[in-house]
Structure 1
């Protein structure tokens, strides 16, 4: 991460609250600019979602979406678009703020970056779990008839209570987001430095480092994403706990890791496009504002 690799050079400026604010601004801007790729790859994301929920091959998942038609293809796209912008603002800005609080003297930057990322991921889970809950309910085609609109979903979730409504699957989301953010901020800087030594431009190095880091994280934590998707699509009925849901999921996948990772290759493609671009834009903004 450029803001971390240049930590020592900007040590005095880091105490300026204006510099802290710039991290939030750069994070939000980079994520906002990546919303176009999010729109482009949303059908891919929805295909992965169907594979996660129904355990179907990609051909059948695409067939389901094709049969439903183009109008329903982008049902549920609003929450991830809003989340992308707000997520980048919070994640990059808060991580940078926590990093300065943890390591103002620029000592042990890499482990402190990971620790700050972990803290930012926890806050991210608290803020965005309701967004993800609504998004997953919207994307489940089985909810189309009895929950046809966003308003109907919001009203229904409100009646479920906080834990079973908007904050369903909060624990696995917190584990996924905190570990993912810790790995991202801990690995991205060293990865970018390694790629840059191959003679590539700074923008290309940032893009590749963000892509490779995100791919590794996505594949490592993919089972948690599958668990979250399966827990959050249901509204009403018997709500089982995390361990019970995991046992049901593992059994439904015939205790096969290959079936559990169904759709994982598409997650790699999505990570390449979204986080690669976001990382490159963010690092470029930091470099030019430094």
Structure 2
């Protein structure tokens, strides 16, 4: 038993083992960019609902009127962010999990470590990717088409502002959303997968269903934060208001109605089912393959 324990600790400290988690996360997210590209019109429809508080037919009519050329305006940031996001999120969570496993001992329950590591990874994720989301939301807002027609013009405009007003507009709600979302995802993914696998599904199918169900629950729970972020980040040059003021303005514009606040939520479920289900299945499969390689001992 002592020899096994030593080998486990060596595995936790092996830089190559840690690097593989970043590689697997990036690979699985890269492979899932095709569904991201396919469902981008769905995402853009959701964005228009979040900004203009319009029903689906009206949001679709807006996009149809703008034409197919503008339909994919703003797709570059989420595609790039999707790949880098998976690399950082899965890799950093695994790194934090290994460090916590070595240092926490009996202070923190082992079952809580994945969620805690996910919380930390979500904070770093928000710090790195808030500028990407800011650029994406500005590009997707049809009101900016004339005075900010290209990504370069958006970058120049945001660069001329303070970080808190420019690239890091909406940082606090993004941090809350990403940290809580990552915490729930990594905390629930394993237990849900175990339950689903117990119903007789293959490991890859169980991972897909686990990722789908987990991301669906997270998306619905944290959807109001996404709506708040979209409304805070879509405009450039307008009067800058704090998070609480923006939240009150959002609720007022939605007539204090939960139904109107969740407008577009059904499409978020669809997007999450596709992207996170595939990402989870691919990540778990590549990680399992690597861990099943024979270890030669002397």
State the match for 1:63 in structure 2: 61
State the match for 2:71 in structure 1: 73
State the match for 1:99 in structure 2: 97
Q: Distance in 1 between matches of 2:7 and 2:227?
A: 42
Query: Per-residue deviation at 1:16?
Result: 1.1
Structure 2: stretches of 5+ with no match in the other structure: 292-298
Give the aligned length.
284
The CA deviation string for residues 40-94 of structure 1, in whole angstroms up to 9 with x for no partner, is 0000000000000000000100010011000000000000000000000000000
CA pair 278-10 structure 1, distance change in 2 beyond 3 A: farther
State the match for 2:197 in structure 1: 196
State the match for 1:90 in structure 2: 88
Q: Distance in 1 between matches of 2:171 and 2:196?
A: 36
State the match for 1:128 in structure 2: 129
Q: Distance in 1 between matches of 2:237 and 2:153?
A: 13
Query: Per-residue deviation at 1:12?
Result: 4.3
Query: Per-residue deviation at 1:9?
Result: 9.7
State the match for 2:49 in structure 1: 51
Equivalent of 1:34, from 32, 35, 52?
A: 32
Query: Per-residue deviation at 1:161?
Result: 1.2
State the match for 1:4 in structure 2: none
State the match for 2:221 in structure 1: 220
Matched, 1:208 2:206: no
Q: CA RMSD in A?
A: 1.5
Query: Per-residue deviation at 1:205?
Result: 0.2
State the match for 1:142 in structure 2: 143
Q: Distance in 2 between matches of 1:10 and 1:264?
A: 43
CA pair 270-78 structure 1, distance change in 2 beyond 3 A: same
Mean Cα displacement is larger for which, 63-72 or 103-112?
A: 103-112
Q: Distance in 1 between matches of 2:110 and 2:47?
A: 36
Q: Distance in 2 between matches of 1:149 and 1:234?
A: 15
Query: Per-residue deviation at 1:31?
Result: 0.2
Aligned residue for 2:102, secondary structure, equals: coil
Normalized against structure 1, the TM-score is what?
Answer: 0.95
Query: Per-residue deviation at 1:11?
Result: 5.4
Query: Per-residue deviation at 1:237?
Result: 2.1
Normalized against structure 2, the TM-score is what?
Answer: 0.93
Q: Distance in 2 between matches of 1:185 and 1:128?
A: 19
Q: Distance in 1 between matches of 2:240 and 2:271?
A: 30
Q: Distance in 2 between matches of 1:104 and 1:278?
A: 28
Structure 1: stretches of 5+ with no match in the other structure: 1-6
The CA deviation string for residues 199-227 of structure 1, in whole angstroms up to 9 with x for no partner, is 00000000000000000000000000000
Aligned residue for 2:180, secondary structure, equals: helix
The CA deviation string for residues 3-46 of structure 1, in whole angstroms up to 9 with x for no partner, is xxxx9996542221100000000000000000000000000000
Q: Distance in 2 between matches of 1:177 and 1:68?
A: 32
State the match for 1:157 in structure 2: 158
CA pair 66-10 structure 1, distance change in 2 beyond 3 A: farther
Query: Per-residue deviation at 1:103?
Result: 1.3
